[in-house]
Amino acid sequence: MEIGALKKEDALRNFPFMGDAEVVIRFLSREELQQIREKASKIVRDGKHGRMEFDSLEGDVLLGRTAVRGWKGLTMNGEEFPYSPENCNLLMRKWTEFARFVFGICLDLRKFQEEAQS
């Protein structure tokens, strides 16, 4: 299996989404995923003790901000819904299918390799 994308700082690919839309997604390394996990975790005090708790919604937003680089073909009220970090946050928070799609693609090296060869 070709693993050249592991060395690329910005391994980007366009992936079809929901028929006629495309999302530009960047491959994320395990190291980047761990950094996102750390940023989305908070210490929760429980009496004298504290424990780390992962905020999954914040994790999704950070993942989207890191992985999604653009899109085309998404509309809202009949108008083109432009890519922006704020719009990406909205989709990652409110649209479960979009968040699952991004998560399923950005960590899967094989999908990046398949897309690159097609």
- By three-state DSSP, how is residue 53 classified? strand
Give the total number of structural domains in the chain. 1
| Per-residue pLDDT at 116 exceeds 60 | no
Q: State pLDDT tens for residues 61-97.
A: 999 999 999 999 999 999 999 999 999 999 999 999 9
pLDDT of residue 113 exceeding 80: no
What's the CA gap between 13 and 108, in Å, rounded?
12
Residues 6+ apart with CB under 8 A from 15: 22, 23, 24, 25, 101, 105, 111, 115
Beta 75-76 vs 79-80: how paired, if at all? antiparallel
- Cα separation, 57 vs 92, in Å, equals 8
Question: What is the predicted pLDDT for the residue at 42?
Answer: 85
Residue 70 corresponds to which amino acid?
G
> Mind listing the pLDDT tens digit for each residue in 29-50?
889 999 999 999 987 777 777 7
For 56, the 3-state DSSP assignment is: helix
- What pLDDT is recorded for position 59? 93
What pLDDT is attached to residue 91? Answer: 97
Give the range of the structural domain holding residue 47, as residue numbers without chain letter.
4-117
- Per-residue model confidence (pLDDT) at position 8: 62
CA angle 107/64/12 to nearest 5° reads: 55
pLDDT band at 3 (very low <50, low <70, confident <90, very high): low
- With a threshold of 0.85, does the pTM exceed it? no
